[in-house]
């Protein structure tokens, strides 16, 4: 049991680092007014991967990029919003 707790703590540290990296990436995309859909969607997908672990706590990061993306591709951004809400509602 102690080994499982240790492994979970290691995972939490890695996930926290990943959130920091994603936050920096979101800030970079927005501040540099990037319009590369693939890069934005890749970042949104990476944030979505963390929704199962962090739930609503990752909402602000996700929506900051999502709101930015709406000016680039409204339909895709709406699809990403629906996907996020589906995941949250499943939890």
pLDDT of residue 10: 84
* pTM of the shown model: 0.87
The stretch 46-63 carries a mean pLDDT of 90
Per-residue 3-state assignment (H helix, E strand, C coil) for the chain: CHHHHHHHHHHHHHHHHHHHHHHHHHHHHHHCCCCCHHHHHHHHHHHHHHHHHHHHHHHHHHHHHHHHHHCCCHHHHHHHHHHHHHHHHHC
Q: What's the chain's average pLDDT? A: 93
What digits encode the pLDDT tens for the residues 64-79?
Answer: 999 999 999 999 999 9
What does the longest C-alpha to C-alpha distance in the chain come to?
49
Residue identified by tokens 């602000």 is: 60
Structural domain including 21 reads 2-90
* Overall domain count for the chain: 1
């Amino acid at each position: 049991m102690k080994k499982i707790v240790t492994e979970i703590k290691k995972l939490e540290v890695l996930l926290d680092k990943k959130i920091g990296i994603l936050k920096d990436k979101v800030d970079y995309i927005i501040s540099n007014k990037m319009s590369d859909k693939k890069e934005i969607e890749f970042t949104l997908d990476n944030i979505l991967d963390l929704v199962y672990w962090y739930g609503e706590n990752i909402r602000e990061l996700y929506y900051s990029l999502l709101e930015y993306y709406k000016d680039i591709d409204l339909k895709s951004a709406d699809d990403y919003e629906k996907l996020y809400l589906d995941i949250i509602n499943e939890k």
